[in-house]
Amino acid sequence: MKGIIIAGGAGTRLRPLTYTRPKPLIPVVNRPFLEYQVALLKRHGIDEIIFCTNYMADKIQGHFGDGSRFGVSMRYAIEEQPLGTAGAIRNAQSIAGRDTVVVLNGDVLTDFDIASIVRFHKDKSALVTLTLKEVPSPSPYGVIVTDDEGRVREFREPSEATKKMLAANPNVERTGVDYINAGIYVMEPEALDAIPTGRPVSVERETYPQFLAEGRPIYALVRDGYWLDIGRPEQYRDATRAVLRRDVRVDLPGEWHPAGYWAQDGAEIDPTAHIAPTVHIGANARVQPGASISGITVIGPNCRIGANATLTDCILEEGVFVGEGATLTGVILDNGVRVEPEAVVTVPAVFAAGSLLAKGTRVAGE
């Protein structure tokens, strides 16, 4: 059995963070996101992994190489042009061969029990098994309806009116539960054979509905556990929160510091700095005297936090400089951002790599 991770998207909704690297390599708590998925597959006995890549494919291959550093074997199915979810899977078939494959969408953070999904798939002699996640109803997502045995009977899309209603009022009263596609599939080689080549194909909109219309054995299984589609900055924050609060079962990089926070090798924190337990400090970062870092905050590797600076609920990526006395709340700072002394930003904002927040900057909420 082999794993396939679809990691070819351009991550447009996460710009500017994806201008300099593909979305799957954006760090979540100082660990490139794809490493969590690789670790999940390996934990469940899948150590041959194929990445389906397009956007900045060279960066993904440069990071993972042959996979030996991560205890797995990695190969790459590169798309010359985007092929959609099904097209990407089909493009990987020359590497996957005639093996059953477990497919993960490359923007899903989860700790689902992959082995139990595979067992269900084999027990049902399924062509494809989809993994489902329970969400409140009504839902803006496409809903999957199954019979009592788990066989898929319908793919039901919400109406445009429902989507608009939920977009305008996300706190609408919930009336039950829906089951949505969690982006984790088990597929037999015959399923891959049926996907057309040479053009973009959506597994959700074309391939699976076609299989259903043909009466082929498509099953689905609801799983408990953590699941999040990381597509927008607010979801990136949610993923960071889930990892730091241990809502999702993953291994954190670094070690728990006796003073009560997470830190990686080479981090230097002045003993007069106040660091909350929900803070993660990356390798070789420096935190100066009197700094206060609280809330769900990640300090990336090689960052410099000046004396008496105050950071709350922030994500700082690599090489960020925060000057003395600066105040930051709810910001995401891409690689190499420079915040000069006494600058104040207390509204949620994302700053692109290399940005400068000059001394005296004030971007404050009410």
Q: Which two tokens stand for residue 65?
A: 């190489």
Confidence of residue 167 (pLDDT cuts 50, 70, 90): low
Q: Which residue has the higher pLDDT, 115 or 203?
A: 115
Residue 107 has pLDDT above 90, yes or no: no
98 and 200 belong to one structural domain? yes
Q: How many CA atoms lie within 13 A of 1 on its CB side?
A: 20
In a domain, 250, yes or no: no
* pLDDT recorded at residue 294: 94
Q: What is the mean pLDDT of residues 65-71?
A: 92
Same domain as 239, residue 268: no
pLDDT for the residue numbered 111? 93
In this structure, are 237 and 332 located in the same domain?
A: no
Residue 355 domain-assigned?
A: yes
Confidence of residue 178 (pLDDT cuts 50, 70, 90): confident
Please give the average per-residue pLDDT across 75-93, as a whole number.
88
* Cβ neighbours for 32, distance < 8 A, ≥ 6 positions apart: 24, 25, 26, 63
The answer on 227 and 311 residing in a single domain is: no
With 60 as the cut, is the pLDDT of residue 366 above it? no
Q: What is the CATH number of the domain that holds 114?
A: 3.90.550.10
Q: CATH code at 273?
A: 2.160.10.10
* Average of per-residue pLDDT across 54-81: 89
Residues facing residue 176 across a β-bridge: 137
How many distinct structural domains can be found in the chain? 2
Domain limit, last residue, from 210, 244, 278: 244
202 and 303 fall within a common domain:
no
Rounded to the nearest 5 degrees, what angle is found at the Cα of 240, between the Cα atoms of 255 and 327? 90
Say which residues have a Cβ less than 8 Å from residue 16's Cβ, sequence separation at least 6.
Answer: 334, 350, 351, 352, 353
Do 283 and 234 share a structural domain?
no
Residue 170: its pLDDT value, please? 66
Higher pLDDT, 11 or 231: 231
Question: Do 186 and 291 have their domain in common?
Answer: no
3-class SS string, the chain: CEEEEECCCCCHHHCCCCCCCCHHHCECCCCEHHHHHHHHHHHCCCCEEEEEECCCHHHHHHHHCCCHHHCCEEEEEECCCCCHHHHHHHHCHHHHCCCCEEEEECCEEECCCHHHHHHHHHHCCCCEEEEEEEEEECCCCCEEEECCCCEEEEEECCCHHHHHHHHHCCCCCCCEEEEEEEEEEEECHHHHHCCCCCCCCCHHHHHHHHHHHCCCCEEEEECCCCEEECCCHHHHHHHHHHHHCCCCCCCCCCEEECCCEEECCCCEECCCCEECCCEEECCCCEECCCCEEECCEEECCCCEECCCCEEECCEECCCCEECCCCEEECEEECCCCEECCCCEECCCEEECCCCEECCCCEECCC
The boundaries of the domain holding residue 39 are 2-244
Where is average pLDDT lowest: 101-115, 132-146, 248-262? 132-146
Mean pLDDT score, 63-82: 90
Please tell me the predicted confidence (pLDDT) of residue 259.
Answer: 78
Q: Which of 320, 357, 332 is nearest to 342 (CA)?
A: 357
pLDDT at 158: 64
Of all residues in the chain, what percent carry a pLDDT higher than 90?
54
Pair 227, 115 in one domain: yes
Which of 185, 217, 244 is the C-terminal boundary of a domain? 244
**What mean pLDDT is predicted for residues 327-353?**
91
Residues 327 and 308 in one domain: yes
Amino acid at 256: W
| Unique residue bearing structure tokens 């990089």 | 253
Last residue of a domain, one of 244, 275, 295: 244
- Indicate whether 249 belongs to any domain: no
Same domain for 152 and 299, yes or no, is no
Q: What is the mean pLDDT of residues 291-301?
A: 95
pLDDT in tens, 236-261: 889 989 998 889 999 888 888 887 88
Same domain as 131, residue 49: yes
